[in-house]
Amino acid sequence: MQHSKELTATIFDIERNSYVDGPGIRTTVFFKGCNLRCAWCHNPESQSTVPQMMFYKNKCSGCSKCKEKCPNALETCDLCGKCTMYCPHDAREICGKEYTVNQVLREIVKDKSFYENSGGGVTFSGGECMLYPDFLAEILAACRAAGIHTAVDTAGNVPFSHFEQVMPYTDLFLYDIKAFSEDLHHAGTGVGNQRILENLTRLSSAFSGKILVRIPVIPGFNAHPDEMEKIAAFLRPLGLSGVELLPYHRLGEHKYTALEKSAPSYRIPTEEEMTAFRILFDR
């Protein structure tokens, strides 16, 4: 099945053998670009829509091969990639590449046997994959035609028409809820959550039983009983397939250094805190 070569999206990673982005063994395709600025984001390279150079200082041996090969002697960067080619320690990396639908599909179908044997499939994530509704609908349709289970991981901060565009080809939505309180959500993400909550309500009516809500648990942001109870009360009447609580982790902090940004300073929730919140949502 051929697709438009003109339709492209910026992808920053295609991760195989994922067990955390839906059922079974999955391939997760990460789109670059996000319209939230979550203070705890573990993929800061996903926020910008354009390719970026990442420099991991802890890998650098100081050999200066990158500077010797760079046409601009590292004074400016036009993302030509020569520094990445000649660095012996992979200290430099261009994050983000333009893909066509067919190029992404070729990567996905390589692991089709794993999906079939495990009940897995492909998950489209980000960033925010729903910022690319035309591309996303086309690649979802191609996966559906190939018999591959599809999931869309979204924060929901897009026009509902984007959901209507992709729903016919989506088997499961992974829907992120960061907070229920408007002021708290704005403080933590840079945007309000009215559209996010409204979209989830509308989506649950049209897509009942095929939505897994995922809630990051962030001490110092939403990890207290009052806020979690507000989220739970909002979710209870909706037709969801489940709720998953995701404890904050620090695995992405090195990426902030590579982008010359300050890393978040949140702590990891304790197991006792996570257990209490799980009991709250189970109830």
- For the segment 179-191, the average pLDDT, to the nearest whole number, is 97
Residue 234 lies in a domain: yes
What does the pLDDT read at residue 128?
A: 98
Indicate whether 88 and 111 sit together in one domain.
no
Indicate whether 124 and 148 sit together in one domain.
yes
H helical segments located in the chain? 65-69, 82-86, 101-109, 112-118, 133-145, 160-166, 182-189, 194-206, 225-235, 253-258, 271-282
What does the pLDDT read at residue 5?
A: 52
What does the pLDDT read at residue 25?
A: 97
Indicate whether 164 and 269 sit together in one domain.
yes
What does the pLDDT read at residue 1?
A: 42
pLDDT digits (tens, 9 = 90+) for 120-157: 999 999 999 999 999 999 999 999 999 999 999 999 99
What does the pLDDT read at residue 209?
A: 87
Of all residues in the chain, what percent carry a pLDDT higher than 70?
98
Return the structure tokens found at 96. Answer: 């983000």
Segments forming the whole domain that contains residue 30: 8-51+96-282
Tally of domains within the chain: 2
Note the pTM of the prediction, 2 decimals: 0.92
Indicate whether 202 and 186 sit together in one domain.
yes
